[in-house]
Every structure is written in structure tokens, then in C-alpha cells.
Amino acid sequence: MTDFSVLIVNWNGRDYLEKCLHSVYDSMAGAEFQCVVVDNASTDGSVAMVRELFPQVELVESGSNLGFARGNNLGFDYCQGRYIFLVNSDIEMHTGGFAELCAYMDAHPKAGMVGPKVLNPDLSLQDNCLILPNPWNIVLRALALDRLLARFGIASGEFAPESAYDREHEVDALVGCFLGVRREALEQVGPLDPDFFMYGEDLDWCKRFRKAGWSIRLDPKVAVIHYGGGSSDNAPVPFYLELKRSSLRYWAKHYGTAGVVWCRLVTMLHEAVRVLFGAVGMIARPSQRDVYRSKLRRSLACLGRLLNPGWGAQTPQERPGNG
């Protein structure tokens, strides 16, 4: 069994993927590893690029856009490492690398999952340590009060405070742009829930890992850059709707009917607030009218879906990249 496997799911992110793969191989320093790329029926030349520039990569062509969860689940069948690193195609290694994360997992045998510090392209901090949602903090989030109150220790925000990224420690959950997973934990907990097309699958997976007794940890000695838009820039409204659908799915799965009703009502409140601010912004800041118009369009589309009580269980054809 090889030390670790790097698993990348790609959909029409050719330029990001090329940079990501160069970064992965440049960071290895002689480590014994395997790299698997699952391509979700890209039409931008991603497959040809991988074959030409990275013939050592194990390339898996899914034949259709499976989404993040199902794409990774397909990739798991090809991964042979003791540890498997799920890496977004728009990630670039910055400091440290996979060997350091493997050593960290070796030193923490109860850790089922580990993540690095994540940076924006300008090297500012990008939040990747999530606070598990609850009925109180999603209301604060809807009203844009979560981070304000979190500064005073009154409530938790969506993400851990900035000070949490300066030390290694256990966290509630990690954003799925870069996750290192112990094979033993994966075999116990199971793969990603395929009903999450994209978004929310990381939160659900982390909750399941914790429920099974595994800890989730941050090792900030390793840092990566996340460009944060490799695929979602292609279809902003459909991807935004999928984000909200995934949230409903998470609450239905873990909190039942009452939970999903609460989530739907709070999400409607959140989108109504965004519509109001978007309309005011278009009037008050004419120079940024296009930005506010885009946000307004997304929120109106979401409100329209939420007013349909049955929305939240789309067929695959309604999801991003499937026509």
C-alpha cells in the first residue's frame, strides 16, 4: 500500500487543474504517492492536458458530471494510499506538503480527518474551519449578525475565529477544498453522501466522522492557496441554488422534518434580507450596480424555489453542468 493518494475531481477547470497538478508534484520531494484525477465530462480540454503533461496521473473519465461527492466516491475505488487527500482542482500548495500532513495523522491516531490552513490568492486567510450549524447560529447568519456577535463571545459564527488558525487543534468541521482522510476512518464512516451534488457534503461527512468517534483536526503548518472559483464561476445562479438545496438536504438528514422546515424559513429570511440590500445597493452605489444586480438575481431565483414546498430534491438534470 502506498503512503498516500491525492484525489482531484475536475469539471471544466483545465487551467486551474494544470497549475494544481504542477504544484502537487513539485511539493512531493521524493514521497511515494499516487495521484488520481476524476474528470466529470469536461469540454475544455482538461483530459487532453492531463494525458499530455501528466501521463503518470491515473485518469478516470466519469462520462458525465457526477458532482463533487459522487466524483470523489468514484475516485476512492482507485486510491491505494493509507491516507487519501481530496484536493480541489483550484488548489495550489504553498508551504509544507502532504508528507507533513501524513506525519501529523500518524502522530494523532484518533484523527480521522485533517486539513491545512487555506489562503486566498493574495495570501490573506480563507476560512476553512466550520462551526457545525444549529437552529440559533443559522438565524444569526441570516441576519448577518453571526460574525459580529462572535467577536464578543455571544455566539458562534459560521466559521471559527481568525485566532483558531494559528495553532493545531481539533475543529468541528472542515471545508472540502482540501481534506486528508485516514483510510481506516473512511472504511468505517463510508464515502461522501451522493445526494449532495456539491456543497454540504463536507459538513455532512465531518458530522458523520465525529459521530463515529473520529476527531477532525487543523494543522496550520501546512498552507495551501485556494482560488475559490474554479468551477462555480461557470454558472453562478445554478451553483448558488445548489448550495441552498444542499443546506436543506443537510438539515433534513440530521434534524428531520422540523429541521428542514426551520432551515427553509431561515433561508427565506436570509434571501429576503439580501434582496433588500441588493436593491438598496443598486440605487446607492451606481458604480457597483452590476455586482448588486447579480446578487439580486441569485437571491430572487432562490426565493422563487423556496416558495415551492417541494423544492430541495432536484433531479440531476436540474443541477449545475447537467443541461
Count of other CB atoms within 10 angstroms of residue 122: 7
Contacts of 291 (CB under 8 A, 6+ apart): 281
Q: Is the pLDDT of residue 253 over 50?
A: yes
What is the C-alpha separation between 176 and 157, in angstroms, rounded? Answer: 18
Domains, the chain = 4-226 (3.90.550.10), 235-318 (no CATH)
- Residue 234: the pLDDT is 45
pLDDT digits (tens, 9 = 90+) for 188-236: 999 999 998 878 999 999 999 999 999 999 999 999 999 985 444 445 7
Predicted pLDDT at 179: 98
Rounded to an integer, the average pLDDT of 6-16 is 96
pLDDT band, residue 317 (cuts 50/70/90)? very low
* pLDDT at residue number 203: 95
For residue range 262-302, list pLDDT tens digits in order: 999 999 999 999 999 999 999 999 999 998 998 899 999 99
33-47, 136-150, 247-261, 283-297, range with greatest mean pLDDT: 33-47
Q: In Å, what is the CA distance from 217 to each residue of 176, 210, 303?
A: 13, 11, 36
Contact in structure between 80 and 1 (CB atoms under 8 Å): yes
Does residue 71 have a pLDDT over 70? yes
Contact 72, 191 (CB under 8 A): yes
**With a threshold of 0.75, does the pTM exceed it?**
yes
